[in-house]
Structure 1
Amino acid sequence: MSADRFPPSIAASAPRPSLSDLPPPASLLAFDFGTRRIGVAKGHAMLKQAEPLRAITASGEARFEAIARLIKDWQPDALVIGVPFHPDGAEHEMTLAARRFGRQLKGRFRLRVYEVDERYTSVEAESLGARDVDSTSAALILEQYFREHS
């Protein structure tokens, strides 16, 4: 029976599940946030592999419409965002922007959003000779998530 079928006093006191009570996500989309481009990758926790998708180059509301299409197509259980830091671990302007992007994703799409330290992913993607450095970076971010949550 759903909470909306209980009297308001009972529905209000019904316990809400916490993130730790939810099953671990199986299907994920990852994002390498940038002000001009957002790299995107998909992956599945069972395989612990990530596959780059096409980067999003739209801006403003069109950017979130593109993300909405990806979420509709891939049906992820959760999202992962790369959060950049200085080499010494200090935050900077893009750290705050990436975290803001994560909050926007959570608010708009009502999915869990996990953060992963993305230091050096672009350098690694470039060293791999990636055609789409941003989406390859997103795949590396997702693989880092898999290593941290295995």
Structure 2
Amino acid sequence: MKINTLLGFDFGTGNIGIAVGQVITRTASALKPLKARDGIPDWDHIAQLIDEWKPDAVVVGIPFNMDGTESEMSRRARKFGKRIHGRFNLPFYEADERLSSFEAKDWAGKLGHHGHYKSKPVDGMAAQIILESWLNDENNTVIIT
């Protein structure tokens, strides 16, 4: 299966960051984050995003601990990815997202963000970082075949 367009997700319990990416350019763009209730999104909104962007697959950031071990959040993020796969029949790929939120906050700060992350979240930027890192990982040959 040829993959051209992907949706990337930065799973969180209050917000879920989203980005859309293209294989040909290996770039992504942040979209407006989704609100979540204890990690549960509005599935209708995700259906609308899938209908709008028509992704060939999704990439979900998995927040491993710094030593590479699993955490409760990594298990929840993986479950979220599996639910997208089950509901929308889209291939689901995992991306190691250690430090993506830190990198997004650093990037946002350089762009003039003043640290009010509740009112101006950077979850979309984190999803963009996750997706672009995955797109540019030489080990992900599945996207080029």
TM bracket (short chain) = 0.7 to 0.9
Give every structure 1 segment of 4 or more consecutive aligned residues whose post-TM-superposition deviation is greater than 6 Å. none
- Which residues of structure 1 form unaligned runs of 5+? 1-21
Q: How does 1:1-150 map to 2 (within 5 A)?
A: 22-23=1-2, 25-59=3-37, 63-129=42-108, 131-148=120-137, 149=140
TM-score (norm 1): 0.80
Q: In the aligned structure 2, how far is the partner of 1:116 from the partner of 1:62?
A: 20
Identity of aligned residues (%): 42
Aligned pair count?
Answer: 128
Cα distance change, pair 123–40 in 1 and its aligned pair in 2 (3 A): same
- How large is the Cα RMSD of the aligned pairs? 1.6
Q: State the structure with bigger RCO (CA 8 A, min sep 6), 1 or 2.
A: 2
- 1:132 Cα shift? 3.4
Per the alignment, residue 18 of structure 1 pairs with: none
Q: Deviations over 1:86-130 (max 9, x none)?
A: 101011100100010011000000000110000000000000116
Partners in 2 of 1:37 and 1:94 — Cα distance?
13
Partner-residue secondary structure (3-state), 2:132 = helix
CA contact 2:85–2:92 (8 Å) conserved in 1: yes
Structure 2 unmatched runs, 5+ = 114-119
- Aligned partner letter, 2:130: I
Change (3 A) 1:61 1:96: closer
Q: So what's the TM-score if we normalise by structure 2?
A: 0.83
CA drift of 1:62 comes to 5.7
Greater percentage in helix = 1
2:34 counterpart SS class: coil
Structure 2 Cα separation of the partners of residues 50 and 62 of structure 1:
22
Determine which structure has more spread, i.e. the larger CA radius of gyration. 1
CA distance in 2: counterparts of 1:46 and 1:101, whole angstroms: 27
